[in-house]
Amino acid sequence: MADHQVLAGAHVVLPTGIVENGRVIVDGGRITGSAPEGAPAIDLTGHWLVPGFVDMHNHGGGGASFTSGTVDDVLTGVRTHRRHGTTTVVASFVTGEMDFLTQRAGLLSELAEQGEIAGLHFEGPFISPCRKGAHDETLLRDPDPAEVRKLIDAGRGQAKMVTLATELPGGIDSVRLLAEHGVIAAIGHTDATYEQTAAAIDAGATVATHLYNAMPALGHRTPGPIAALLEDERITVELINDGTHLHPAALELAFHHAGPERVAFITDAMDAAGFGDGRYMLGPLEVEVKDSVARLVEGGSIAGSTLTLDRAFQRAATIDGLPVEAVVQAISANPARLLGVYDRVGSLEPGKDADIVVLDAGFNLKGVMRKGEWIVDPTAGTAV
């Protein structure tokens, strides 16, 4: 790799707006503001340059699970998503026995320390049996703050988020505990009322886990958690924009009420993402993926997604008609801020890691750079 690379001629999406015929200069692994004469330039006229995607809720991909796979399996999943533009990913776990989850946290915290993943997310076991989705009901438990603390400690500083049904006994105290330790308390897989949700937000919850899914529907007399989560400026709402989890009108409603600064696109991906249809295991539960839609074999509940964030970006910018700047906020900047890594990733500003995605005029992925290294070469359109 040359010390300096100049990516020239593209529509460059910056926090301040879109720069036409823009240039992004890479020196080693960082974005810089200048390059010496004669530095090699890649002509990207007609393309888009956007920051690498940041996925704060992802269970695996490439046939590999973050919950149960080996370290090599986890890296396979991470690299699969990198090839689709996700240069920063949090490893999410589904519900399991407490001893198993603490063991996984210790193992994967090493990958976080090495910079391969951006931290850990525990989606369960502290969730409602009424809204369990693709979680094993026999393993669910109330959010005892002592057990929540046990998971945090097992993560060795790498626990980034815990999803809870905050209406359960111990829920509010657990939210306060997470907030005190700088861990995101996310409201999800919940049967909470509007009032219970508002109380959890006041206690320190800041994220809605895959809004609309695994929670009561919006009602005109009993608005439930959705209304409370959309209306409160302290909450960022996760959205799975795969065409299965959300109707376009629901996505539009979320953007209208929360605004692009309070939306985070996620995949909630499972093993089949970037891999294909077939039978898989999600924790202890068997999943069948057919036509790229994942459902539990027993019961038929949606079981995560097979989404990659390049597809979420393209769908948002074309089918949903969102402004490109808003999509970049939701898919890069907002999750980076929530994870506390916006000083390094989430925008194409000088001094930040050279995490860059190249898209063509139709928002098809053409190139991916991570820390100055091409993962997908835009001049060849293939993985390096």
- Give the pLDDT score at 39: 78
- Give the pLDDT score at 198: 98
Give the count of beta carbons closer than 10 Å to the beta carbon of residue 113. 12
Residues in the chain, total: 384
- Please name the residue that has the structure tokens 């626990």: 159
d(CA 40, CA 1): 10
Domain ranges in the chain? Answer: 4-50+346-383, 53-339
Beta pairing partners, 365: 359
User: Residue 58 in contact with residue 30, Cβ under 8 Å?
Assistant: no
Nearest to 213, CA basis, from 248, 243, 240: 240
Residue 171, sorted as left (phi over 0), alpha (psi -120 to 50) or beta, turns out to be alpha
- Give the pLDDT score at 1: 45
Instruction: Going residue by residue through the chain, which has 384 residues, state the pLDDT in tens, using 9 for 90 and above.
Output: 457 899 999 999 999 999 999 999 999 899 998 777 777 899 999 999 999 999 999 999 999 999 998 999 999 999 999 999 999 999 999 999 999 999 999 999 999 999 999 999 999 999 999 999 999 999 999 999 999 999 999 999 999 999 999 999 999 999 999 999 999 999 999 999 999 999 999 999 999 999 999 999 999 999 999 999 999 999 999 999 999 999 999 999 999 999 999 999 999 999 999 999 999 888 888 999 999 999 999 889 988 899 999 999 999 999 999 999 999 999 999 999 999 999 999 999 999 999 999 999 999 999 999 999 999 999 986 665
The residues that are catalytic are 268
As its CATH architecture, domain 4-50+346-383 has: Roll (2.30)
- Please name the residue that has the structure tokens 């004469």: 37
Report the topology of domain 53-339: TIM Barrel (3.20.20)
- Give the pLDDT score at 380: 83
- Give the pLDDT score at 381: 62
Nearest to 122, CA basis, from 69, 90, 161: 161
φ/ψ (deg, to 5) at 145: -55, -35
